[in-house]
Every structure is written in structure tokens, then in C-alpha cells.
Amino acid sequence: MLTLVESLSLAGDRTKQNDDAHGYSARAAGRAWVIDGATDLHDAPLSHCASDAGWIAHMANHSLHGWTLGDRRAAVRAASRACASAFADLLNGRSIAPWQSPIASLLMLYEKAAGDIEGIDLGDCRAFALDADGVAHAIGGPGDAGDNEAKLAARQTDSGQPLLRRTNTLEMLRGLRASINQPGGAHWTFGVDPRCADHARTWALKLARPAHLLLCTDGFSALVDRYRAYDATGLVRAALDKGLQELGRELRAIEAADAAGAKHPRFKPNDDATAVLLRLT
């Protein structure tokens, strides 16, 4: 049985919306997911929400709450189709630049009837697992994503300004965003093109019980992938021993001590950070 232990979602900036979303359902054998809307690179959202990033994250979240056990890709495709239809209605025939199309990272998993865990992901959300034999797993979109972002962030020449006022940085980020979810392209994440489901990574875990799994958006997995404060084993154990609230405080303390990004170059001082802790028995 896959059950919810605890969840946490911290806004990166308390003056703005949280663009993460997460969910858990006890239907059938249990399933859970985390979603991280990619920060808007335009001033005014195209949706009716505070940000298009938040809009797509919560639209996908709503769709996944209706997910019944079955084809993982079908669940992602259905969520993308729902977002695509709603977004087309919002645009009402207006054309937009490719970099304005809302995207998100997504990771979801469920317990199969046989007891194994199966999952699927797009983007850079992560999952860490620790089983009864002490075997740890790190799953989900590239573990070097934090390093790659750091390399890009270190090249900024205008980092002293708010993100949407950094002309050079925005030009770079918009170019990168425009290359995502393009036919024939190498980089896909969740978005309003249902073909994204065909490019999602699928995986399975066989865990000795009792086991624990920690699903994270990259703002939280930064404790492992960017700041190296923990490894996969240590992070799951810390979540059990200390709780997610304490890990959230540790995360923000690391970032506050390096607010200018001198040690850990990044585009924002703090990112939205979401985690879901599960127990498999």
C-alpha cells in the first residue's frame, strides 16, 4: 500500500504565486505526483491566473486527480489535451511566440497491483526512494540539471536586476524555451502539445518493504542536485527523521547564505520547492 506521510510546498517569493502543484490519491493502490510550472518569461500572463506557469501546473493537477490506474502515457496525454484545449480557448485565435507557450516539469508514480512502483516524468522533477534493505534510488529528469542551470546562470551579465528586466538573460532563456517541445527536437517537457507524452521517461522500481519515496520539484531536490547537502539516502532519511518543514528551513538557510548566487549561481534567489513523502508497506 502506498500512503501519504507528509507534503510541503514553499513559495520561492512570498510576494508572488507558487507555480508548483502536487497531489495524492488513495484510489486503487495509491498514486502521487509533483508538477513544476516553468517561470513565465513575459510580463502579463496569457491566462486568467497570476502566471501561466501556475495555470498549467494547476490545470494538470486537476486532470491527474481523475487519473485511474492504467497507461502512464495516456494519463500524461489526457492532461496535456485538457491544457491544450483550455489554452486554445484562452488565446481565442491569437498567435504567440513559441517561448510564450506554458510548460511544466511533471513526475508521477503509482503502485502496481503486484506491488512494484511504476512512474513517468518529463522535465526536471525528481524522486528519491529508500527501501527496507537500505537500497536507495534517484529517479527522474536529469540529475545534472542543477549543474547545467548553474553554468547558464554564471554567464549572466545583468543578474543585478529582477529576472524580467534582464535583457540579455531573457533573450537567452527565451531562445532555450523556444527549442522545447518542438517536432524533431531533443528537449521535451509537459506542455500544451499532447505529443509530449510520447517523449516522457518511464521507469519501474522494485522496493523491499517498508520503503519510502520522496517526490520533489527541482526547487526542493536542489538539496541533493545543486547544494549537495544530502545524497539520495540522506535526504529520505532526513525527511523521516526531521520532517519536510525542517528540510525546507535548511534549504532556505543555504540560499539565504548565498543570496547573490556567488557559490551557487542561479536565476532566482529561491525557487518554489515542493516535496511529497510516501510510505510503501
Following DSSP, what letter does each residue of 184-247 receive, concatenated?
T-S---EES-GGGGGG-EEEEE--PSSEEEEEE-HHHHHHHHTS-S--HHHHHHHHHHT-HHHH
pLDDT of residue 143: 62
Cell numbers at 61, concatenated: 493537477
Range of the domain at 55: 2-280
Q: Which residue has the cell 534582464?
A: 166
Cβ neighbours around 267 below 10 Å, total: 17
Q: Please, is 233 exposed, middle or buried when counting C-beta atoms within 10 Å of its C-beta (0-12, 13-18, 19+)?
A: middle
Number of domains in the chain: 1
**DSSP character at residue 124:** S
Instruction: Report d(CA 37, CA 59) in Å as an integer.
Output: 10
- The end-to-end CA distance of the chain, in Å, is 5
Cell numbers at 217, concatenated: 520539484
Encoded amino acid at 40, one letter: D
pLDDT in tens, 27-63: 767 899 999 999 999 989 999 999 999 999 999 999 9
**Contact, 199 vs 253, CB < 8 A?**
no
Helix (H, G, I), strand (E, B) or coil at 161: coil
Residue by residue, pLDDT tens for the chain (281 residues) are 899 999 999 999 999 999 999 999 987 678 999 999 999 999 899 999 999 999 999 999 999 998 876 689 999 999 999 999 999 999 999 999 999 999 999 999 999 867 799 999 999 999 999 999 999 999 998 766 666 777 877 887 777 777 777 888 889 999 999 999 999 888 999 999 999 999 999 999 999 999 999 999 999 999 999 999 999 999 999 999 999 999 999 999 999 999 988 899 998 999 999 999 999 99
Instruction: Report d(CA 22, CA 151) in Å as an integer.
Output: 29
Per the prediction, the chain carries an average pLDDT of 93
pLDDT of residue 39: 96
Q: Which residue has the cell 495509491?
A: 30
Question: Helix (H) and strand (E) counts for the chain?
Answer: 7, 11
> What global pTM score does this model have?
0.94
CATH code at position 268: 3.60.40.10
Q: What's the sign of the alpha-carbon dihedral 125, 263, 227, 260?
A: negative
